[in-house]
Amino acid sequence: MRSRPVNTVYFALFLFAAVTAAAAAERVRLTPKFTPGQVIRYRIESGSKSTGKTTAPIANPEGGSQSSNSIHMVVRLEVLGVSPDGSVRLRATYERSAAESEADALDLSANTFTSRYNRLDGRTFEFTLEPDGRTANVQDLTAAAAGQSPKATDPALSWLESISPGATFPKNGVAVGQKWKRERPVEGSLLSGLTWRGVSTYLRNEPCGSTSQTGSSGSSATADTASGECAVILTQFEINRQGSTHADATPDEYRRNGLRTSGTWTGSGESLDSFSLATGLLVSSTQSSTQNMDYQITSASTGSSIRHVGKVQSQSQITFVLAQP
């Protein structure tokens, strides 16, 4: 039997390794591709469970120790126009928005939570989605039609950061196996200096169809999003406070109202996201997180204070709804 030359075997192995390395190093830019007239739907489900204890100057024997909230939404996005700078004008209609809240004691904030989301049902907003994922020029069309002045859109559009990652990806693209870091301040926090830090990993490519759901009407753009391959990104994150634990942690808003805040607030979690390689649109996002807090709010004038020690566990899922002709 004739043996194959050793040099030929080495060359074949070298060629295989080179091709494999080139495929692994192929970089992609996960930027959403929007076209005027395009219609996209997302289903959003989220829930949270809170446990803890609040200590106040006046004891409340009926105070609760745990509560849970859940949110269910279906949002229809229509692309109105695309600017040369990459910004997109969108119209969002909440085809469904509902929420439930439960607690082991009387919770006056529960009604506020549920009504805030229930009022979104059927409402329509127009806004501009900037290339970095921020929203601008928001108009509440439902309120305008009823002769009302526009109100704050939170939480109406807060989930949009997930479908348009913007500046969260490296500008020169990403390759399978690559890791990158990012951080941002936690806005609206009760303690100043809280920072979100995440490490993302481009895990692999896989078929998109296994994560999308079926809707009622569609276009070739939405079909392309649900077919083909998706980039799977894993992000693991932590929330911590910068600086000395003894430094003043009072945000300016609390200080202006004569209050002082102190304590600790930490968190951790992860999200698994799939983005269409064909259109750059989010196909699915699943996130879970846990936050632990031990903070105190004190009146600067009277010295009276409220202390809360608790834990919040949250889960959320955003799913692209596959449209059919």
Per-residue pLDDT tens over the stretch 119-129 = 889 999 999 98
| Comparison of pLDDT for 178 and 16, the residue scoring more | 178
Give me the pLDDT at residue 112, please: 80
C-alpha R_g of the chain? 24
End-to-end CA distance of the chain: 61
What is the 3-state composition of the chain as percent helix, strand, coil, each rounded to the nearest 5?
Answer: 15, 45, 35
Check pLDDT > 50 for residue 76: yes
Tokens of 158: 């807060």
Per-residue pLDDT tens over the stretch 201-241 = 999 999 987 544 444 444 455 566 667 899 999 999 999 98
Confidence grade of residue 130 (pLDDT, cut at 50, 70, 90): confident
Domain 29-322 part of CATH 2.30.230: yes
C-alpha distances out from residue 2 to 9, 10, 12, 18, 95, Å: 14, 17, 18, 28, 72
The one-letter code for the residue type at 42 is Y
Give me the pLDDT at residue 250, please: 92
The chain-wide mean pLDDT, for the chain, equals 81
**Which of 150-154, 167-171, 305-309 comes out lowest in average pLDDT?**
150-154
Q: pTM for the full model? A: 0.80
Q: Please say whether the beta carbons of 158 and 97 come within 8 A.
A: no
Q: Please say whether the beta carbons of 225 and 208 come within 8 A.
A: yes
The SS3 of residue 114 is helix
Give the residue extent of every domain in the chain: 29-322
Cα–Cα distance measured from residue 179 to residue 165, given in angstroms and rounded to the nearest whole number: 16
Cα–Cα distance measured from residue 83 to residue 207, given in angstroms and rounded to the nearest whole number: 31
Strands 194-207 and 229-241: antiparallel
**Which of 19-33, 56-70, 160-174 comes out lowest in average pLDDT?**
19-33
Check pLDDT > 70 for residue 310: yes
Half-sphere exposure of 131 (CA within 13 A, CB side): 8
Tokens of 80: 């109105």
Cα–Cα distance measured from residue 294 to residue 85, given in angstroms and rounded to the nearest whole number: 44
Confidence grade of residue 25 (pLDDT, cut at 50, 70, 90): low
Cα–Cα distance measured from residue 93 to residue 249, given in angstroms and rounded to the nearest whole number: 39
